[in-house]
A = this chain, B = another copy of it.
Amino acid sequence: MRLVIIGGGAAGMSAAAQARRTDPGLEIVVLEQSEHVSTGLCGLPYFVAGLIRDASQLVAHTPEYFRQERRIDVRTGHRVEAVNASSRTVTGNIVSSRTATGNSGGGPFELRYDRLVVATGAKPVPLDVPGADRENVFYLRTVADGIRLRASLEQGTARRAAVIGGGFIGVELAEALRRWKLDVTVIEQGGRLLPAFDPWISDLVAQELRAQGVTVLTNHTVAGLESGAVQTRQGGPVAADLTVVAVGSRPDLDLLKRARPELGRTGALAVSRQLQTSLPFVWAAGDCAESRSAVTGRAAHVPLGTVANLAGRVAGEAAAGRRTEALPLAGTYLLQVFDLAVARTGLSEAEARAHGFAPVTAGVSGPVNVPVLYGTAGDVPAFEVRLTADARTGRLLGAQLAGHRDGARRIDVAAALLTRGALVRDAAGLDLGYTPPLGVARDPLVQAAQRLLSELDVSGRR
């Protein structure tokens, strides 16, 4: 019995490792087009910044580790180009010579599978403007992308950089480039940065970037890339010796074109609770596949490394023959921008409204940590938490927070509550840990829930 896994990223290697734990006798082959498996892509901006010194630190385990310690046949340099679901084969080309069996010398390959896990991830949305193929235009999706961008920075010739796109990667890249002392401009087409967050957090992030010397342009559409400048439709050119494009990503499904699996509304692969696709004997996990929201109960697309790890485990276990299912997700995002940590989980207020809920939001801001152990009030790490609930049922729908990093992980508590379908009153009555060196007696999350509960009282629902 052979399990083939396409893609050696977080989802693919989690699937491989869990399949091995589930069935010690299974043959497991991982086909990965790059030279790296088990990569932590979330670390790429920190590698670009130079905080992660060596690209090898982006890799949790080498192919050799998986081969020797887990008996997983990892084949790097293997680019799968098609899946034939009726013959249960994958075909592709060898783009490098590093494989488990030594020098394969390139050329096409074909491999039969009994079970298949698709973990192809996502690919960056390309910028479709004149000049987008110039030199000094970068994307940041793979380790190779990171190495290329950092090499360019290490040359030290660039002084001004443009980041096109004000989402997660764009914002993290702005910080990374600023660490190289470049003049950085973030160009965002929409009205605000980080549209996945509530507007007050977008505002705080823009404020933090500006305080750190980054120019933030919203409502600016890129018209073209020229030598030394990005042309926008709205204003003059933005001077840039170097441009990074971070306008989003989409599921990488090219190799499934002929197999025609069912896609969900989100554009990612539709999967069952067992993470099986519409194709027989084919499971999927990671950025290429949908997940299910614990709040709406519906399919969602949460392209994050944490989710890829979790879903990969489930897909590997299911493909190896054990009954299991993926649990619904809260949808938890955490981001640090210079000295500001921001996080969200569940639905934003706008999303809640779009899903037909009657959202009510309330929050508190205050210290999260050690007020009594700091000299003055000015030193107290400040934090803001806002919770959103459904006025009709009193159910918690989402949490958003921003402030000092010491408070950031409070988002996990909200995620746990959302996953378990908690009411606001459950959050308002939580006995969280407290000791003066590590927190405040009235935790801001619990306080926010208590305030939200009062708001719901007004609407007659707790």
Chain A residues engaging chain B, CB cutoff 8 angstroms: 10, 21, 40, 42-43, 46, 51-52, 57-58, 302, 304-307, 309-310, 313-314, 326-327, 329-336, 341, 343, 345, 372-373, 405, 408-413, 415-417, 419-422, 425-426, 429-439, 441-443, 446, 450, 454
- Per the bound structure, the CA–CA distance linking A63 and B435 in Å amounts to 24
Q: Is the CB of A434 within 8 A of B334?
A: yes
Which residues from chain B contact A329 at a C-beta distance below 8 Å? 429, 431
State whether A415 touches B434 (Cβ < 8 A). no
Q: A438 is contacted by which of B334, B415, B422 (Cβ under 8 Å)?
A: B334
Q: Which B residues are in CB contact (< 8 Å) with A42?
A: 434-436, 441
Structural contact, B450 and A313, CB atoms closer than 8 A: yes
With CB as the reference atom, state the residue of chain B lying closest to A401. B433
- Cβ–Cβ contact A57 & B372, under 8 A: yes
Q: Is the CB of B405 within 8 A of A327?
A: no
Q: Is the CB of B426 within 8 A of A412?
A: no
Q: How many copies does the complex hold?
A: 2
With A343-B433, A410-B412, A429-B326 already in contact, the answer to whether A305 and B438 are too (CB < 8 A) is: no
In addition to A334-B438, A336-B438, 15 A-B residue pairs with Cβ atoms within 8 Å of each other are A43-B436, A51-B372, A52-B436, A305-B441, A306-B443, A341-B438, A345-B433, A408-B438, A409-B409, A409-B433, A411-B433, A416-B416, A416-B420, A419-B429, A419-B431
B residues near A307, Cβ cutoff 8 Å: 431
Q: A417, B415: Cβ atoms under 8 Å?
A: no
What would be 22 A-B contacts, judged by CB atoms less than 8 Å apart? A10-B441, A21-B454, A40-B436, A42-B434, A52-B372, A304-B431, A309-B441, A310-B431, A314-B429, A327-B425, A327-B426, A332-B434, A334-B434, A345-B433, A405-B438, A412-B443, A415-B430, A416-B416, A416-B430, A417-B420, A419-B426, A420-B420
Residues of B within 8 A of A326 (CB): 429
CA distance A306 to B332 in the complex (A): 26
Cross-chain contact A432 with B412 (CB below 8 angstroms): yes
Q: State how many angstroms separate the Cβ of A234 from the closest Cβ of chain B.
A: 31
Question: A155 CA to B400 CA in the complex, in Å?
Answer: 49
Chain B residues with Cβ below 8 Å from A441 are: 10, 40, 42, 305-306, 309
How far is A179 from B420 in the complex, measured between Cα atoms in Å?
44
Q: What distance in Å separates the Cβ of A399 from its nearest Cβ neighbour in chain B?
A: 11
Chain B hits for A331, CB < 8 A = 431
List of B residues within 8 angstroms of A58 by Cβ: 372
The answer to whether B431 touches A415 (Cβ under 8 A) is yes
A293 to chain B, nearest CB (A): 11
The interface residues of chain B lying within 8 Å CB-to-CB of A51 are 372-373
Q: Is the CB of A409 within 8 A of B21?
A: no
Distance of A205 from chain B, by nearest CB (Å): 13
Complex Cα spacing A437 to B454, Å: 35
What is the distance, in angstroms, from A48's C-beta to the closest C-beta of chain B? 12
Which B-chain residue is minimally distant from A420 (CB atoms)?
A: B420
Contact of A302 among B335, B412, B419, B431 (CB under 8 A): B431
> How far apart sit A372 and B438, CA to CA, in the bound complex (Å)?
24
A294 to chain B: closest residue by CB: B431
Q: Which of A313, A331, A413: most chain B Cβ within 10 A?
A: A413
Q: Are B330 and A431 in contact (CB under 8 A)?
A: yes
Chain B residue nearest to A42 in the complex (CB): B436
Name the residue in A10, A40, A42, A441 with the highest tally of chain B Cβ atoms < 10 Å from its Cβ. A441
Residues of B within 8 A of A425 (CB): 327
Neighbouring B residues of A410 by C-beta, 8 Å: 409, 412
